[in-house]
Amino acid sequence: MTEATGTPFVLNTDKGLETSLRGFLRQLLESGNIGALILPLKVPSGDSFAWIMLNDAGMIDDAVPFPATMPVQGAKALRSLTRKERGELTVMALMRPCEIRAGIELSKLGQVNTENLILATYDCAGAVPLQSYVSDPAAAEKNFKEFFITGEPDQNAKPICASCTDFSMVDSDIHFGYFGVREKGMLVIPGTVRGTDLLKKMDLQTASGSELLPVWKAEVEKLTEKRSSVRKIVFKKTEKDISGFTGMLNVFENCIGCHNCQSVCPVCYCRLCYFGSEASRTNPEAMVNEAVKRGGISLPPDRIMFHTGRLAHMSLSCVSCGQCTDACPVSIPVADVFSFVAEQTQHTFEYKAGRNDGKPLPLRDFKKSELPGVHKLVKDAEPGGTSHE
């Protein structure tokens, strides 16, 4: 959990969390300190949500600040807004912590300019899988309400949510905290200097949050602990399932090669990916030879290579949002595998994706005398540490 930089204050929640948050956002927009807001709105048919950048405060009534599902990963919305220059207007985005984390990761990758973006997050109870939402929105809303209240994602939530430990305050500018205190109010917590400045400018006459803050913190810690234990169990299972070349084949054997997992991935940012490019195509003659040599090969080729390749390319930036599992038409637990591998690779490079901690992307950086985790993996080449220094 990231610490607050300024003084938190409390919003009255007598009329419910959503109403109180809408009221605050309206004030924010009307104060002129924010040029536009990025919020989810229900699509006209009512069976999904879309990100809308709105300037008309009247539209805020239609916004759903806590959407039950996650159709487009918010970082993708942020990415489409990337401006080369610093614009005049500040835009604020209210998103789930995993979406904001992906946005921060994309800013490190040079794909999002956060200079005049205010990133806001809220305590996330989890999301319903997109497929269940689209097939029965009413039932999904009902299911969502259940875990939205407890803060503990159940079997109706996306599987990854139950094992997510970064569900509350992340490195966002402003965080809205309500776990454990929702009856008494919603905490508005500034997380950065920018967030603090913005809230100061608004000059709101509201109650101080110093009383509720410890209650909220304790609740978040309690939930984090619960989710960590789930995470351990999920990781153990994944490790067992995926283990070895045959494990890998078993997990991914149903893959139909649609590359959905890649196209919904918020951090898989290359406009032209190697997979799917001309360069990745195998020469037909070589494939025939391969079939002769092996006795047979599956076509189109390179399914396993696609997944392992993506693991190698993207696991260091994986924020475990679970969009890949959500988008998989054949129910492969892609996110479990990614999340598990990401934990190991990020640990090796002493890196955590989605943090604004000033650490550069591991592959853009190096140390002449490498990190212990990295050194351990290359010590064959450098038995006595790095030579020639």
Residues that bind other proteins (CB under 8 A): 239, 242-249, 253, 274, 290, 294-298, 301-305, 308-309, 311-313, 315-316, 340-341, 344-345, 348-349, 362-363, 365-368, 370, 373-374, 377-378, 380-382, 386-389
Sheet holding 36-42, edge to edge: 49-54, 36-42, 91-95, 117-122, 174-177, 186-190, 9-11, 207-208
Q: List, as one string, the DSSP characters of 222-285.
A: HHHHHHHHHHHHHHHHHHHHH-HHHHHHHHHTT-----HHHHH-SS---SS-STTSGGGPPPHH
Report the alpha-carbon distance of residue 203 to residue 316 in Å, rounded.
40
For 314, other C-beta atoms within 10 Å of its C-beta total: 21
Min dist CB 276 to other proteins, Å, is 13
Residue 209 or 362: the one with the smaller Cβ distance to other proteins is 362
Min dist CB 93 to other proteins, Å, is 31
Residue 315 or 325: the one with the smaller Cβ distance to other proteins is 315
Residue 23 or 309: the one with the smaller Cβ distance to other proteins is 309
Residue 91 or 318: the one with the smaller Cβ distance to other proteins is 318
At 181, give phi and psi (nearest 5°).
-130, 5
Min dist CB 261 to other proteins, Å, is 16
Helices (H), 97-211: 97-108, 130-135, 137-150, 193-202
Residue 205 or 387: the one with the smaller Cβ distance to other proteins is 387
Q: Percentages helix, strand, coil for the chain, rounded to the nearest 5?
A: 45, 10, 45
Residue 222 or 232: the one with the smaller Cβ distance to other proteins is 232
Indicate the SS3 state at residue 148: helix
Min dist CB 388 to other proteins, Å, is 4
Report the alpha-carbon distance of residue 282 to residue 301 in Å, rounded.
8
Min dist CB 42 to other proteins, Å, is 40
Residue 222 or 376: the one with the smaller Cβ distance to other proteins is 376
For 147, other C-beta atoms within 10 Å of its C-beta total: 21
Min dist CB 341 to other proteins, Å, is 4
Min dist CB 284 to other proteins, Å, is 15
* Burial of residue 180, with CB atoms counted within 10 A of its CB: 0-12 exposed, 13-18 middle, 19 or more buried: buried
- Torsion sign, CA atoms 113, 114, 115, 116: positive
Residue 193 or 299: the one with the smaller Cβ distance to other proteins is 299
Min dist CB 348 to other proteins, Å, is 5
Residue 64 or 249: the one with the smaller Cβ distance to other proteins is 249
Indicate the SS3 state at residue 174: strand
Min dist CB 342 to other proteins, Å, is 9
Helix H or strand E segment including 95? strand 91-95
Please name the residue that has the structure tokens 């696991």.
Answer: 315
